Amino acid sequence: MISPLRFIFINDDQETVTCILPTQYTIFSVNPFSLKYSKDNFGFSLGSAATCLGYRFLAFSGLPADPEFDTRQVCIFDHDKKDLKEKENPIIFRQKYEMHILSMRITPELLIVAFHQHIEIWDIKSNQPLQQLPTALNVHAPCDITSDYKLLAVAGGDIYSVSLCLLDDRKARSLRAADDTVSLVKFSHKPGLLAATSADGKIVRVFETSSPNFGCIGKFKRGNTASVIHSIDFSPNNNFLVIVSQNGTLHFFDLRNKPPSASPPTVRSSHKISLGQQAISYILWQTPSQIIVLTMDGQMMCISIDENNCHEVGREHILFMRRLCDDIVVQA
């Protein structure tokens, strides 16, 4: 069975997830699992999404083949929870670009859209561009923003670098982050750390963003052969890092007692957990002892671990797409 899922975005409240289907989006909480909101009948297709303030603000881009709303277009919905049912048309921003959008992030005030060779920062309220940042050609368009909406990480001026941009004054600085094309960046939810990896997925570098020079605390080695890293997350206390690779394995790395260094050590994983499947997966390290894994084939795994060594102590499987479809039918 082919999954109808087009995109999964883990919301910044660390409790809810936004799922994108071709003509519908659905928001659900993961612990406990429950449907929060669902909307369809847009009149156009949905391809990808980004959210902020939980799921109050949602930015969408379209699908390549939809002439009404393709991957060059974006709209933003304001779903103020107090007015969720009263607002019939909560679109607060809509824009069409000349190039196809590869990734995006939003804050309550700003939209960041990433293209092949540049980044654009837009003011949502005025619907006007504020800044354009040139980047090296990068089809991955890595992009992430801190949980306090102050610091942005995107592709840099060369394929090995990341640009860090303070969003209050929009000043950028470059950081050497990989030995191959940078493909993925991820900030810790507790401010202080940034992880970056490359297209070959061999090494993940972690930087301390609270230090003046953004020093590297370690080069964390997944393996010697290339493997795509689908998702990265930090434990809530920033003691550990976890990645999920294309072979369906969680790799854990111990970040404790690793100060920034000009010559950071290369460290192998301290533990691994097999997921038993190889669908594209996204990780949410929700509590020190629980990791949520969501897959593009509609599965959710709640993995309980020992918070001191990351060893698995239990696992629950939920077919979340099937559950969501059942809940939507009941609510209708």
What is the domain partition of the chain in residue ranges?
180-331
- Angle, vertex CA 328, rays to CA 27 and CA 64, nearest 5: 60
- Angle, vertex CA 155, rays to CA 22 and CA 95, nearest 5: 45
Q: Which residue has the tokens 């928001």?
A: 27
What's the DSSP call for residue 265? P
Rounded to an integer, what distance in angstroms lies between the CA atom of residue 106 and that of residue 260? 29
Q: Which residues of 235-265 are buried (b: 16+ CB within 10 A; e: fewer)?
A: bbebebbbbbbeebbbbbbbbeebebeeebe
Quote the CATH superfamily of domain 180-331: YVTN repeat-like/Quinoprotein amine dehydrogenase (2.130.10.10)
Looking at residue 220, its amino acid is F
Give strand pairing partners of 284: 292
Rounded to an integer, what distance in angstroms lies between the CA atom of residue 28 and that of residue 34? 6
pLDDT single digits (tens) 74-112: 999 998 855 555 555 578 999 999 999 999 999 999 999
- Angle, vertex CA 86, rays to CA 81 and CA 90, nearest 5: 75
Q: Which residue has the tokens 């964390």?
A: 220
Say whether 321 sits in a helix, a strand or coil. helix
Q: Are 178 and 140 in contact (CB under 8 A)?
A: no
Say whether 192 sits in a helix, a strand or coil. coil
Rounded to an integer, what distance in angstroms lies between the CA atom of residue 26 and that of residue 24? 7
Please report the pLDDT score of residue 323 as a whole number. 80
For 254, residues 6+ apart whose C-beta sits below 8 A from its C-beta are 239, 240, 267, 270
- Per-chain mean pLDDT for the chain: 92
Rounded to an integer, what distance in angstroms lies between the CA atom of residue 45 and that of residue 68? 8
Q: How confident is residue 3, by pLDDT bands cut at 50, 70 and 90?
A: low
Q: Which one, of 132, 180, 137, lies nearest residue 155 by Cα?
A: 137
Please report the pLDDT score of residue 2 as a whole number. 54
pLDDT single digits (tens) 200-248: 999 999 999 988 889 999 999 999 999 999 999 999 999 999 999 999 9
pTM, rounded to two decimals: 0.93
Please report the pLDDT score of residue 88 as a whole number. 59
For 224, residues 6+ apart whose C-beta sits below 8 A from its C-beta are 202
